Structure 1
Amino acid sequence: MSKAFRLTASTGIHKGDRDYQQDQVALLAHQRYNGCVLGVLADGMGGRSGGRKASDQVMMTARQLFERYSPDHDDAATVLKNMVQEAHIVIRLTAISAEQEPHSTIAAFLINPRGDCHWVHSGDSRIYHFRNGAMVQRTLDHSYVQALVDRGEITEAEANNHPHSNILVGCLGAESDPPIATHLISQLQPGDVLMACSDGVWHYFSPAELASVVESLTPREATEFLIDKARGRARGGGDNLSLVIVKIEVLEEPKKPLSMPFPPR
C-alpha cells in the first residue's frame, strides 16, 4: 500500500439456539512481526464433545503454526494448507478414542505486514472480501447445494432454503482428505474488509446486506449487529454463530502546525 494503514478488528461468538457451543474463533497478532495477523474460525460437528474437540484441534494447530511463521522466509499459502492438513490428521487421531466422530470446518486468512492476504477454507464456513461497500470475492462452500449451484441446477437464493443445505461434501476429520481452497489478495487497500463467519451467520444474509453492514459500522458494532440480526431471523432455530471482521483503514498522519509568516509578538 502506498499509504500507511491500520487494522481495526473484532470477533463475535454466540451459541445461538443450540444447547452448547461448538464454534471457535480467534484473531491473532504475530508476536514478532508487527502488522502480521491471522483470523481463524472453526465450526465443530459430531455431538457436544466431538464437535468441540474438533474445533479445539483446529485452533491449537493454527496457533502453533502461526507462532512459528515468518513472513520473510515462509510461504503463507503453504502454511495455511499445512494448517488444514495437520488439523485434519489430529482430529482423525482424536476420533479413534472418542465415541463421536469429530469433524470441523476451517476458514482462515493471514495478512502479511506488506499488505498481501492469503486465505484457506474447507467446509461451509466462509470468508468474504469487501471493498468500499461491495463484495469482491467469497469462498465457495464444499457442500451439496453449492455443487447444485455450480451445475446451474439451483440459484444462490434457492440454495439458502434448500432442505439439504447442511450437507457437506468435505471437511476436516472425515475419512477422505479435506478439500483445500486457497485465494490470494495481492494487495489490501484502505476500504477493504475481510470477514470469516460460520454458516450460523451467513445463512441469514445476502452479500449486499453483509457489505452494507461492514461498510457502515465499526467491526465491533458489525459483529454485534450481525449476531443479533441472525438470531432474530432464525426465529428460535438458529445454529452457533461466530465471525471475525478486519477492516483496513488509512492511518491519518498528524497535521503539521502551520508556520507563522512572522514571529508572534
Structure 2
Amino acid sequence: MAFSAETCVAMHIGDRAEQQDRVGLFAHPKRPGVMLAVLADGMGGHSGGAMAAEQVIMRAKQNLEVYAPGHETPQELLSSVIDEAHVVIKLTRFTSEKDPHSTAVTFLMEQGRAYWAHCGDSRIYHFRGTETVSRSGDHSLVGELMRKGRLDEEGSLRHPQRNVLLSCLGSEREPRVDYGMLESPDAGDAFLLCSDGLWAYFTDVELASTIQSAPPREAAERLIAMARERAGGAGDNISLIIVKLVPLASAAR
C-alpha cells in the first residue's frame, strides 16, 4: 500500500532551567523521499549539554546534504552522524570549561525503507497500530541490569541510578551504536524518537495508543501534557519526533 509520512517535532523545557535537548527533521535537498530525523539529549552542566546536543543536529543536517545513496549506505550515513558528533564533542572539552556529553537517536526514510541508530538512553519505538514492534535498548546501567534479568520494567523506573549511562557521545570510550531497519514499512506503522524526559512516564501501550488515536501534532501535545502532569513539578526536558505512516488517501484528506 502506498503511504505518506505525517510528522511532528515537539519540545518542552520541563522544570529545568535550560533546554538541553535538541531535535531536527530534514529532507534531502536533492532527493525526494529521503528524510532524516534526529534527536539528542545533552548533558554536561550549564550550556555544555546544549552545545553537545547541537553538534549532533548540525552533523545530521550537514551529512544528509552530501549523502549520495549510490556511494554510501544508510547505515554509513547514520554512523557518520554519531561518530563525527562524538569527535567534535570531545574536542570541545579542550576549548571550554565544560564536560559535554549527549545521547543520539537517528531515523532515516529512504526508498520505502526505514533505518535507525542510537547511542545512550534516548529511544526509538516502532509501533504498528497499538502493538510495539520494537524498542531500542538503553545504554544505561538500568538497561544492562534489565537485559541480564536482574531488574524488571517497574523497578527500572525507581532505581536510584536510572540516569547513569554506560555509553554516550563525548566520553573517553568510543560510543556504542545499535542499528535497526525495516525493509517494508507500510501504512499503520509509526515511529517515535524521544528523550527520557518523555518515555520515563509511559508504558509502551500508552505511547502506541496515543499516537494511533490522533494526528502527530495532537498526539505530541497529549503526551507532553501527560508527562508534565505525571512529573509533578520535577520533570526533565522533553523532546520527541513522531513519524506516522498513513495511506495516501488519508494524507490527501
Structure 2 match to 1:187 = 184
Unmatched tracts of structure 2, length 5 or more = none
Residue among 199, 211, 230 paired with 2:208: 211
Using the size of structure 2 for normalisation, the TM-score is 0.97
1:32-82 CA-to-partner distances (Å, cap 9, x unmatched) read 111211110000000121101101111111111111112344200111011
Residue among 18, 25, 39 paired with 2:23: 25
The aligned runs of 1:20-99 (5 Å cut-off) are 20-99=18-97
1:151 equivalent in alignment to 2:148: yes
1:201-251 CA-to-partner distances (Å, cap 9, x unmatched) read 000000010010000011001111111110110001110000000100111
After superposing the two structures, state which structure 1 stretch, 31-40 or 195-204, moved more: 31-40
Deviation at 1:125? 0.2
Q: Which amino acid aligns with 1:69?
A: Y
1:224 equivalent in alignment to 2:221: yes
Q: Which amino acid aligns with 2:168?
A: C
Distance in 2 between residues matched to 1:80 and 1:136, nearest whole Å: 21
- Matched-pair contact (CA < 8 Å) for 2:107–2:116: yes
Deviation at 1:4? 2.2
Residue among 235, 238, 243 paired with 1:246: 243
Structure 2 match to 1:196 = 193
Structure 2 match to 1:15 = 13
Q: Secondary structure in 2 aligned to 1:79?
A: helix
RMSD (Å), alpha carbons: 1.3
Q: Which amino acid aligns with 1:125?
A: S
- Matched-pair contact (CA < 8 Å) for 2:129–2:209: no
Task: Count residues with an aligned counterpart.
Answer: 251
Distance in 1 between residues matched to 2:189 and 2:46, nearest whole Å: 36
Q: Secondary structure in 1 aligned to 2:249?
A: coil
1:123 equivalent in alignment to 2:124: no
Structure 2 match to 1:166 = 163
Using the size of structure 1 for normalisation, the TM-score is 0.92
Q: Secondary structure in 2 aligned to 1:38?
A: strand
Distance in 1 between residues matched to 2:242 and 2:104, nearest whole Å: 15
Q: Secondary structure in 1 aligned to 2:32?
A: coil
Distance in 2 between residues matched to 1:144 and 1:158, nearest whole Å: 13
After superposing the two structures, state which structure 1 stretch, 175-184 or 72-81, moved more: 72-81
- Return structure 1 stretches of 4+ with deviation > 6 angstroms: none
Residue among 106, 130, 137 paired with 1:140: 137
Distance in 2 between residues matched to 1:211 and 1:5, nearest whole Å: 19
The aligned runs of 1:106-121 (5 Å cut-off) are 106-112=104-110, 114-121=111-118
Distance in 1 between residues matched to 2:118 and 2:124, nearest whole Å: 8
Q: Secondary structure in 1 aligned to 2:144?
A: helix
Structure whose CA Rg is larger: 1
72 and 248 in structure 1: CA distance in 2 versus 1, 3 angstrom threshold: farther
Structure 2 match to 1:263 = none
Q: Secondary structure in 2 aligned to 1:92?
A: helix
Q: Percent identity?
A: 46
Unmatched tracts of structure 1, length 5 or more = 254-265
